Structure 1
Amino acid sequence: MNKYVTFVSDEIFLEEVEKVVDAYATDEDLSKAPWEVLSNSRETIDQFKTLFDIYSNRFSLDDWINFEIPRQHDKTASNRVGDFHQNLLGRVDGWVNLGRGDPSGMDLKKEDNSIWIELKNKYNTMNSSSLRDTRFKCEELAEKYPNAKIYWAYIVSQNYESFDKTWVYRDNKENVVHEINDNIRNIAGKDVYTLVTGDETAFEQLFNALPNAINDIKKSKHILTPKDQVIFEEYKQLIFKD
């Protein structure tokens, strides 16, 4: 019986979670002396931003270290969270992670080519040009595989909504609405995980499993305070509202 989620093995789950955890600042990073960070950072420090940070926030240099080091790691961590969903879903039985540079331009597909997914982490990730390119990719695939479902998907939707609907696309550049095709779809939130795993509880399983998995990887027992647990439970109800 799996410890974390039902749709991949514990070994696979921990492997993918660890890739994200490794992007975060370590205790060693946070223990660096201010001069070491200022003079020998992996990225050149913006000296003016540093002054704004220190004086606007009334930071000591040690306070600034605890602010700056996590900030430097945040972009990498955010990118890996996006990769995490693609990598994890691509290891569900019957699915293929297409990685980067696949000729289809998509991220995931079912082994029998019946479902293709362009997966983003958040609903506002793409600008209008990227969205237009994605639409054209979906239309090309729909023409090549007329019986397949082609999805533009994202994990974090506006207001945490979940849905699976026909993608009605208006091309603002050409000021036209593209032909509606029920096989070209927009899917978000928990419905993405339901589509790939066939389990309506998969998304919530993931959310519930991550704290334990991260603690196991870091060999720690970090728990929220009772007050924070109440707040986070309310947040969870917001995320998983019907």
Structure 2
Amino acid sequence: MANNYLSYISDEHLLSCIGNLHNSYLKAKANVSKKKFYKNKIDTIKLTFDAKFNDLDEETLIKTEINRQIDKSINNSIGTFHEQILGGINNFEIGNSSGFDIKAKDDTLFADIKNKHNTMNSSSAESLFQKLAYYADTYKQAKCYWVQILAKNSFCEKWFGEINGKEYSHSRVYKISGDQFYKLLSGKENALFELYEVLPKAISDYLSLQENKATQANSALDEISASSNISKRSILDEITFENYPYYLGFDKLE
């Protein structure tokens, strides 16, 4: 196993994880058509505030919204990147939609990974605790973790407290910060920091081995501009009409 980058996973595995994330970037940035742009309803009330308060012209406004959608998609892929990295450490594996994100091969550890500490509402937190408690009860030697890659502090502690009016606690259910979880699985004190340090070089090395993969220019703005020219509506009015033609009064934009 080659280890020029990190001591706890092979170079091949690290570059593979980087490659998977790179493909997610390429997919997210691929041609954003008007249809794709409208997949989730556009909040044109917010866009109106953005335009006025941030002094944005309509073209910049739409480009900013397209980039926001792309960024949201990529953020979801960052959590997957950490799962894949951690799943490459000896004696651990990823869940592959099995109900957990990471487990020890001997069933002594189960974990659910969230990239940020604040990504769950109370119902999601309750569901996650119940799931981790189920694994702890099923596998009597297992410790189960809610992992927060980006946490407010560095910690590893029992997860107990009141969620939705109910008290929850379990002797083997924990919450843990990303740095501590990397340390726990790798046995390396600064494992997450070491990943951070090598990423620039590893990414550059990965990219140097790739053929140039050009992405299509986003066509949403061109498509919306073309239809707004025909309808004689502003770009923002065009987006509003095309998203909410069935709302009371919005037909006045015709």
Fold shared, TM-score > 0.5 on shorter chain: yes
Alignment of structure 1 residues 68-217 onto 2, 5 Å: 68-100=65-97, 102=98, 105-158=99-152, 161-174=153-166, 177-181=167-171, 183-217=172-206
Scaled by the length of structure 1, the TM-score of the pair is 0.72
- Matches of 1:66 and 1:124, distance apart in 2: 27
Equivalent position SS for 2:115: strand
Identity of paired residues, percent? 32
- Matches of 2:67 and 2:206, distance apart in 1: 19
- Matches of 1:3 and 1:54, distance apart in 2: 48
Q: Does 1:57 align with 2:57?
A: no
Equivalent position SS for 1:119: strand
- Matches of 2:34 and 2:130, distance apart in 1: 45
The aligned amino acid for 1:21 is: H
Larger radius of gyration: 2
- Matches of 2:50 and 2:157, distance apart in 1: 44
Equivalent position SS for 2:137: helix
Equivalent position SS for 1:4: coil
Equivalent position SS for 1:113: coil
Gaps of 5+ in 2: 210-254
Q: Report the RMSD for the aligned CA atoms in angstroms.
A: 2.8
1:230 aligns to what? none
Scaled by the length of structure 2, the TM-score of the pair is 0.69
Does structure 1 retain, via aligned residues, the 8 Å contact 2:159–2:169? no
Distance 1:146 1:169, change over 3 A: farther
Distance 1:73 1:23, change over 3 A: farther
Does structure 1 retain, via aligned residues, the 8 Å contact 2:158–2:173? yes
The aligned amino acid for 1:178 is: Y
- How many angstroms does 1:180 deviate by? 4.4
Gaps of 5+ in 1: 221-242
Residues 87-124 of structure 1, C-alpha deviations (whole Å, 9 max, x = no match):
11112111111121x2xx22111000011111111111
Aligned residues: 204
Does structure 1 retain, via aligned residues, the 8 Å contact 2:159–2:173? yes
The aligned amino acid for 1:162 is: S
Equivalent position SS for 1:121: strand
- Matches of 1:65 and 1:172, distance apart in 2: 39
The aligned amino acid for 1:185 is: Y
Equivalent position SS for 1:24: helix
- How many angstroms does 1:22 deviate by? 3.3
Equivalent position SS for 1:208: helix
